[in-house]
A and B are shown apart, each in its own frame.
Chain A
Amino acid sequence: MTAGTVLSLHPAVDELDRLLTQAAEPSGPFAAASLIDLDRQEAFPADACRLLDDFGLHTYYVPAQYGGRLADFAESMRLTRAVAARDLTVAIAHGKTFLGAVSVWLGGRPQQAAWLGAEVCAGAVVSWGLTERHHGSDLFAGELAAVRTGSGWRLSGEKWLINNATRGDLVCVLARTSPTGGPRGFSMFLVDKRRLPADRYRHLDKVYTHGIRGADISGIAFDDAEIPATALVGGVGDGLAITLRALQLTRTACAALSLGAADQALRLAVDFVRGRRLAGRPLAELPPMRRLLGEAAATLLLAEATSLLASRSINALTAEMNVTAAITKAFVPSQVQEMLDTFAEIIGGSGFTAGQPIEEAFEKVHRDHPIVGIFDGSTLVSKNALINQFPRLARSYQDGSPLPWDEAGLREAATVDGHVTEFDPARLSLLSAQGCSVVQALPAAAARLSEQAGTGEVPVGLARMADQLRAAVVGLQRELAEYVPTARDVPAAAFELARRYELCFAGAACVHLWLHNATALRAAVPRDEPTAALWRDGLWLRAALARVLDQLGARRERADLAVHDRLAEQLLRHADDRRPFSLLPGPAAVSA
């Protein structure tokens, strides 16, 4: 057995995790009590961000070709998750720079991108100015305008509810460049605040929020601010196209925030049930509580599998990212939010948190997390984006059979330690030409799982579940084929179809991950590793598929539900471990 690439999948992630564990000691910048205190004061977590800078996390927001370390999106998402698992405010405050800069990576001139890359690697904070006070997420209604001048442009207007608008050194601003607006009526500008005269811009007041209270959520107003011609990103009129492509990356990346929140919540829940009692017994012993823990763990693994496949798809299935990103953004935060709400009744029900570290920490993450389902394309906006793809997705199946898909891309996306194709922004598109490989490949994957059940490699129950999923997909595709798109008034039924499509995608992602990794991982991970138990007998796959089938309304087998109890057992057994509960082996798995 070798300690090879499988075990130490992303050394940087392991290193960051170790660093954060250390920093969580009582006087460190990630100490729980101090983070809660900062939240109470609505103060920015500067020390924590500085620690991340010292680690060099900001260099992962810059592509390698522009001087940074961003190459493998799965790696960068795992880094974000590691931070979010400690504190969501910090993860969001620090990670915003990626969102601020990504428009330039996708649409900027090479010199512009290289320049920005150097600035970010030197510590510059970049913000993204998209939304405005009266228009919410309707970018077509944006009023902030850029007018051409002799030497460049003049900006007038406000962007509001912007993360790091005040802290940021630079801000990428979407501005109206044609009075009549429309798809070609907007352009993107990289504004260097440090070069602006002080009387030509001002910061808008901090907006006080329900959660992530210490974050800098504010705004910026430009009063005839002159910016050079070189501030333009891409061409005039490219603004919306750049934004939509950028959102394909950022919406996928948001999943990492949800995973981190789920990590926190699960850890807190385990601590809680071990320490409290009901009806004369430790909570952890009560069967429905175990079931609940197991279901939550299954939800986390389902969300992780979806996110993992989605993150690797950025490199491997780039052309399908408009579908993948919409699904990921709609699905993962919602699943995690439900898990948090379930725990909230148990941990936070009485509302009395004072002096109780578990209740206090949980209460914070419960307030923090909903922002992930709101910003960067809310859950409803993301579902609408998926619904807009229905006609094309409907055509990806004919008479119950899928059309050809990108098998090579899917194989790479699903193999956790596989080769990482260099990311090519030019392959991002606004329409997925071939549909959704993950879902199209599901019938074939279910058949392979059946074969494995036939040879005893996996339990028969697993093959049955995969087949139920396949039937669900075929049924869904049939309904998609009958769905008549409307330009306005999207019917409520379409949202239900979207919900089912997300679930089918997530379930299929699980099956693909299993097929491409089970053999290698089971061979490489030591038996007593917590991760090993998840892969043994397909435990994690069974639990994740049970969550999917349950939400699809499929008939439930008692044996499938009991799998959750085994997961709970694993959770409780390794509770003192403090390692994230994950499909991927953690740092301790690295042999000397």
Chain B
Amino acid sequence: MAAPTAPVQPIGELERRLGDPWDPANPVGFAAVVAADEQARPLAAGEHILDEYGFGAELVPAEYGGRLTRLDRLIEVMRAVYRRDPALGTGYAAGSLRAAMPVWTAGTAQQRRAVADLLLHNGRISAPLHEPAYGGPTGPAIEAVSDGTGLVLNGRTGPMTGLGRAAALVLPVRTESALGDHPHAQVLIGPAVAATGMHQLPALRTAGVRAVTLGAVQFRDCRVGLDRVLGWPQAGLRIPSTPFLLADPSRLADTVLAAMAVAIVDTGLRTTVRHVTTRKLYGKADVDLPYIRSVLVSAFVDLLVCDAFVTVAARAAHVAPAALDTLAPAVQHALSVRLANTMRQLSVVLGAHFYIREGDRSIFQKLLRDLMPASLGHAGRLSCELAILPHLPGLAGWKATGEPAPPELFRLDADLPPLPQPTPLTGHLPDQLTAALTNCLDTGSGGNAEELRQVRGLAEHFGLELAGIALAAADLPEQETKSMAGPATHELATRYITVLMAGVCVGLWQEEQHRPGSFLADPSWLAAALTRLAAASPAQPAALPEGVEQRLLAELLDRYESARALGVLDTPLAGR
């Protein structure tokens, strides 16, 4: 029984509706966004646009009448929102995203249809946004005990958005023995269910995403039927039509939200470019000052590198869903470290103008406060490292058989397989990403010979780095892959993440050789990316060869002038 299909919107439709962000008269322009933030109220005009666009359909799989087919496509659509106002994204989309994913991955057909119906009619659903990264006191702790015919819930959820308007909640609960073998489960609670024993807690204040009202729910002896449990009674194997739905749903949501950091910093960089192309210090436009240029170019490279990483991870979810268990924390860690640093570097260029909450640079300080809560704040770098540690000892054992990662990972406009492929290398996908480093030597005919030489040298450096990590990790005692692992071991994890990123960049560039003349096919960006990744610390601007810096600056300014996104895809944007 196919549900009616929503009309497919081309990417850019939402962007078009949001309009020119710099237009002071635009009710969803930056001026309006900042004004709403000042008053800590939601951007009503923005929500209206999302309603009219039918955003909910983006979160519903095609088989249930929505438009969700590919994770990277979802990311592109959501980025239109987060480039404009991360609080709008958090308030409108993030809660529904977190709530919907478990329904598609674990719910029964009936549950999925009910949720799809809600979302397709612009309804909202909500789930706790996340657990605080470092064990804050607001962690979810809902216990579910069986009373023979149903579950009795006690405890409190973590912070949630949109409680006032949510038509359904998806909540993680600890079930212990209440459901046989499953110590955890998710329950889907709608307003139709008797809401006795459930009440909202007072709204919480936030520093960032101020327009978002957070609440939590307290349960006291609240009874729910077993049919409220996602997937009940068959909480078992299914083969979804979309392979990425085999992945851990929270990893999926994590990856999508991490990708939003790229959108937020895109606007941050764009704002800074706007500032330096109009301002003068000591008689010259700032953009003509060499140091400023190097900071701008470094920021652009940061975006390219981070976008490459998260985009490939999103595509990897289709090819090898289990790989997200390693890739998602790696992505969160990398983007958290690099993009927070990027914003700090840009704030130094903006100087006093970053600190003032008026004028057309004022969007920057809002983005600075929004960045972590809207996209990465819950990840916790330490947790991400701990998630990767168990993977390290096996690195030495995985032979570089020369088998690279599937090329469709890197071919950004290619379709992704519709059915899951059983692949024996599923667990090694992250390692396949680094195979590109050794394969790099044969690639690339066009372009500057000197730059190609640089690229190969850097790829070789990363190959050696990987070998070094594998060697060091091979001897790790078991306790060094757990919570008491020492700082040196944690450093192996962070170095490994950097190697993964290098591999991804090389893989992307190699695949782009099929489109000679494109920006990504040119070795300049890759030379810059690998140089930046190889630097001891991202805290300083990258020291790039003159030609490389010029090429990247030209591309950055061109994209700024022609309003195109600053990631691996130069998506057209509204306004200038």
Which chain A residues have a beta carbon within 8 Å of chain B's beta carbons? 136-138, 161, 207-211, 272, 276-281, 283, 285-289, 291, 337-338, 341, 344-356, 359, 363, 367, 370-371, 373-375, 378-380, 488-496, 499, 551, 553, 558, 561
Query: Which residues does chain A contribute within 8 Å of B377, judged by CB atoms?
Result: 348-351
**C-alpha spacing A287/B483, complex, angstroms:** 9
Q: Does B338 contact A (CB under 8 A)?
A: no
Q: Pick the contact of B373: A276, A286, A351 (CB < 8 A).
A: A351
Interface segment among B104-112, B130-138, B257-265: the answer is B130-138
Q: Is the CB of A492 within 8 A of B543?
A: yes
Q: Is the CB of B281 within 8 A of A138?
A: yes
Q: Is the CB of B290 within 8 A of A286?
A: no
A278-B382, A283-B134, A288-B385 are contacts. A378–B351 as well, Cβ < 8 Å? yes
**C-alpha spacing A355/B201, complex, angstroms:** 13
Q: Is the CB of A349 within 8 A of B133?
A: yes
Write the chain A residue with the least CB distance to B380: A349
**C-alpha spacing A348/B372, complex, angstroms:** 8
Write the chain B residue with the least CB distance to A353: B207
Q: How far is the CB of A497 from chain B (nearest CB, A)?
A: 12
Q: Pick the contact of B486: A138, A287, A337, A493 (CB < 8 A).
A: A287
Q: Is the CB of A354 within 8 A of B380?
A: no
Which chain B residues have a beta carbon within 8 Å of chain A's beta carbons? 38, 130, 132-138, 159, 204-209, 214, 279-282, 284, 288-291, 293-294, 336, 340-341, 344, 347-349, 351-352, 354-358, 365, 368-369, 372-374, 376-383, 385-386, 482-488, 490, 536-537, 539-541, 543
Q: How far is the CB of B398 from chain A (nearest CB, A)?
A: 26
Q: How far is the CB of B254 from chain A (nearest CB, A)?
A: 13
Q: Pick the contact of A350: B282, B373, B486 (CB < 8 A).
A: B373
Q: List 6 A-B contacts (CB under 8 A).
A: A136-B351, A279-B386, A291-B487, A341-B340, A351-B373, A488-B282
Q: Is the CB of A338 within 8 A of B204?
A: no
Write the chain B residue with the least CB distance to A347: B134
Write the chain B residue with the least CB distance to A212: B355
Q: Is the CB of B133 within 8 A of A350?
A: yes
Query: Which residues does chain A contribute within 8 Å of B352, judged by CB atoms?
Result: 136, 161, 374-375, 378
Q: Is the CB of A351 within 8 A of B290?
A: no
Query: Which residues does chain A contribute within 8 Å of B484, judged by CB atoms?
Result: 281, 285-287
Q: How far is the CB of B60 from chain A (nearest CB, A)?
A: 28
Q: Pick the contact of A136: B135, B281, B340 (CB < 8 A).
A: B281
Extra contacts, 19 of them, besides A209-B356, A283-B134, A380-B348 (Cβ < 8 A), are: A161-B356, A207-B357, A209-B355, A210-B356, A210-B368, A279-B482, A346-B134, A348-B377, A350-B378, A351-B373, A354-B206, A367-B207, A370-B347, A378-B348, A378-B351, A492-B294, A492-B541, A492-B543, A561-B487
Query: Which residues does chain A contribute within 8 Å of B341, judged by CB atoms?
Result: 341
Q: How far is the CB of B380 from chain A (nearest CB, A)?
A: 6
A283-B135, A287-B486 are contacts. A355–B204 as well, Cβ < 8 Å? yes
**C-alpha spacing A499/B134, complex, angstroms:** 33
Q: Is the CB of A352 within 8 A of B351?
A: no
Write the chain A residue with the least CB distance to B38: A208
Query: Which residues does chain A contribute within 8 Å of B279, judged by CB atoms?
Result: 136
Q: Is the CB of A278 within 8 A of B291?
A: no
**C-alpha spacing A347/B488, complex, angstroms:** 23
Q: Is the CB of B290 within 8 A of A373?
A: no
**C-alpha spacing A341/B347, complex, angstroms:** 13
**C-alpha spacing A250/B294, complex, angstroms:** 29
Query: Which residues does chain A contribute within 8 Å of B284, judged by CB atoms?
Result: 488
**C-alpha spacing A375/B284, complex, angstroms:** 21
Query: Which residues does chain B contribute within 8 Å of A161, judged by CB atoms?
Result: 352, 356
Query: Which residues does chain B contribute within 8 Å of A346, judged by CB atoms?
Result: 133-134, 380, 382
Q: How far is the CB of B140 from chain A (nearest CB, A)?
A: 13
Query: Which residues does chain A contribute within 8 Å of B486, judged by CB atoms?
Result: 287-288
Q: How far is the CB of B151 from chain A (nearest CB, A)?
A: 26
